Amino acid sequence: MNLRKKRVLRQNLVAYAFILPNFIGLFVFTLLPVLFVFFLSLTKWDSANPIQFVGISNFTRMFSDSTFRISFFNTFYYAVGTVPITLIAALGLALILNTKIRGRNIFRTVFFFPYVASLIAVVVVWNMLFHPDMGPINGLLSAIGVDNPPRWGASTKAAMPTVILFSVWRYMGYYMIMYLAALQGIPRDLYEAGNLDGTTPFQRFRYITLPMLTPTTFFVGIMLTIQCFKVFDIIYAMTNGGPGRATNVLVYYIYNQAFSEFDFGYASAMSVVLFAIVLIITLVQFRSERKWVSYM
């Protein structure tokens, strides 16, 4: 009996030893900093002077901070705009490029390309294309008779839609690949059975393809939502939160508070709020999972 226990322990120790290197990395570089954020959110710290405990005043400060309100709203605006459009665009592309059209490999590459291209490079090109006065997009729009083409990134109203448009373009290729993989995983005999029953193509899409894709849609939805709530790079490269505060989002504001104002306490408190928001949304998504996701 004792001997067996010892053997189990030894086996376990071997297993732990294998996990250890990875765990140390996770602990030092991920777990500790995350816990530190929760601690910092209750303090005032500028990275040089001693840390001061200030209770929940960082959290109450958010209620009266108009920039926080605006970036909070903008983050939702961005996510609500980007997630569904990207999902539909990715699905649409995948459906088209799953058929036997000519040059589909080329198209697949073309649509995937924005995701791997250097962000800064494509942003520079976009800013030129969408230049309100000299850009070819507005040139084209005026040529076909649009009187007041949008001022894109130069107006407070059009700036966020421009960023959303860019994000959809950048992300859709990546999620298209996921949908493609899922489409190819749908057993052919389901469609054959459908054919035998004399269904229309739309019915086959509605009652076979879509339900079979729900696990992917679920996964893509969650990934996209998280990605949208933590958007930073696109904002940083494209608009710097401007014009004014029209595209300032939470992570961008957190970054500014932390690394240009050196107000780590307030920045951490906002990170905690962001964490809570994404946690709640993800939990809701998980709750709804069994209602509409079908794992055959």
Q: Does 60 bind another protein (CB under 8 A)?
A: no
Select the residue interacting with another protein from 29, 39, 53, 207 (CB under 8 A). 29
Select the residue interacting with another protein from 115, 132, 204, 215 (CB under 8 A). 132
Q: How far apart are CA 223 and CA 172, in angstroms?
A: 12
Residue number with CB closer to another protein (94 or 158): 158
CB atoms within 10 A of CB 159: 23
Q: Does 274 bind another protein (CB under 8 A)?
A: yes
Q: How far apart are CA 76 and CA 74, in angstroms?
A: 5
Give the per-residue contact string, 210-249, with another protein (x = CB under 8 A; - = no): ------------x---x---x-----------xxxx----
Give the per-residue contact string, 150-169, with another protein (x = CB under 8 A; - = no): -x-xxxx-------------
- Taking CB under 8 A as the binding criterion, the range among 111-119, 179-187, 198-206, 256-264 that sits at the site for another protein is 256-264
Phi and psi at 134, nearest 5°, equal -115, 0
Residue number with CB closer to another protein (11 or 60): 60
On the CB side of 275, how many CA atoms lie within 13 Å of its CA?
11
Select the residue interacting with another protein from 8, 9, 80, 279 (CB under 8 A). 279
Q: Are 192 and 252 in contact (CB under 8 A)?
A: no
Question: If you write DSSP's letter for every residue of 177-238 in order, what string do you get?
Answer: HHHHHHHHTS-HHHHHHHHHTT--HHHHIIIIIHHHHHHHHHHHHHHHHHHHHT--HHHHHH
Q: How far apart are CA 114 and CA 116, in angstroms?
A: 6
Q: Where on the chain is the footprint of another protein (CB under 8 A)?
A: 29-31, 33-34, 36-37, 46-49, 64-67, 127-128, 131-135, 151, 153-156, 222, 226, 230, 242-245, 251, 254-256, 258-262, 271, 274-275, 278-279, 282, 286
